[in-house]
Structure 1
Amino acid sequence: MSSAIAVGATIPSVKVKENSPAEAAPLSLTGKNLIVGVPGAFTGVCHAQIPGFIKNYDNFKAKGINEIFVTAVNDAFVTKAWKADLAPGGTPVRFIADDKAEFTKALGLDMDATNVLGGPRSQRFVIVTDGDKVSKLIVEPDFHEYTVTSADQVLTQL
């Protein structure tokens, strides 16, 4: 685990995947955005946390958020299936595969989850960006919970 990215720092230009395992590109960050990092798709706590961001999408838009990105250390097949499972009718929330944990490691928000999830994973966090600059960083103290990183809590801080 390296040092976590700081407020004011630039989001690393690391390639991630969204729609296909063959197509990788850095996140396109214009305006205010949320990057929600979770340890793994379909895991119990993550599966409970992310519906709040889907349900509150319009509330986040009303607070000036341009895009919501949910990142997980999973492959693009898994993140696409997870999005379809959580939002069968579709959602503008974007699900991002960080399949090699390169983006998470570049943020300094990785952790060793070998005993639980088989390898390196993301800590549970929310980054608010202004363009490609970090304007707020919220890291969950215990990745088994989502208290400070719940959609409702994040909304109160915007």
Structure 2
Amino acid sequence: MTSFVASATNAAATAAHAAAVGASVPDVPVKENDPDTTFSLANLPGKNIILGVPGAFTPSCSSQIPGFIEKYDQFKAKGINDIYVVPVNDIFVTKAWKEKLGPESGVRFLADDKGAFTSALGLLFDASPKLGGPRAKRYALVVDNNKVTHVLVEASPPDVKETTADNVLSKL
């Protein structure tokens, strides 16, 4: 496990930082609703928001995401097509978290079970001491026709300051 964590963290540190304004969203599959069905965030039409979070059910993640669910209509009014929440968790944990937070909301929850999507963004960090392995830094990307227009990354993954629903709304 240690070698996997080290190689994933090193790859993220040395990767071209795809989470930069003007960059394209990487075409790395994630999972939605089913462990055998993949979904790509590359080439999404129009404006979308991608929220990376360290892990489902963690206290700060579980306090951050409800703001996006509650303000979903405000995001739609600002021209956002979809909001995607991407924890580094398996699909079963991700689905259970969605069921707890907002099963009827329009916010979509996608599992980055191996952290490959997050790593391609250059936003993976070693969370082994608290979460058992590599996880996503807390980030919010606004993308327009697959081009990143805004990048917000918290200085520390437990923080929820830059990536609140209100702050992301203010950038639109």
TM norm structure 2: 0.89
Structure 2, unmatched stretches of 5+, are: 1-11
Matched, 1:80 2:88: no
Partner of 1:136: 150
Amino acid across the alignment from 2:17: A
Tell me how large the CA RMSD over aligned residues is: 1.0
Q: CA deviation at 1:25?
A: 2.4
Partner of 1:107: 121
Q: Distance in 2 between matches of 1:19 and 1:131?
A: 24
Select which of 6, 27, 30 maps to 1:13.
27
Q: Counterparts of 1:1-158 in structure 2 under 5 Å?
A: 1-2=12-13, 3-5=16-18, 6-27=20-41, 29-88=44-103, 90-158=104-172
Q: CA deviation at 1:4?
A: 3.1
Instruction: Name which one, 1 or 2, has greater alpha-carbon Rg.
Output: 2
Across the two proteins, how many residue pairs are aligned to each other? 157
Amino acid across the alignment from 2:72: Y
Q: Deviations over 1:28-79 (max 9, x none)?
A: 5110000000000000000000000000000000111111000000011111
Q: CA deviation at 1:121?
A: 0.2
Amino acid across the alignment from 1:20: D
TM norm structure 1: 0.96
Q: Distance in 1 between matches of 2:111 and 2:26?
A: 15
Amino acid across the alignment from 2:139: F
3-state SS, counterpart of residue 45 of structure 1: helix
Partner of 2:3: none
3-state SS, counterpart of residue 68 of structure 1: strand
Q: Deviations over 1:108-155 (max 9, x none)?
A: 011000001000000000000001111110001121110010001111
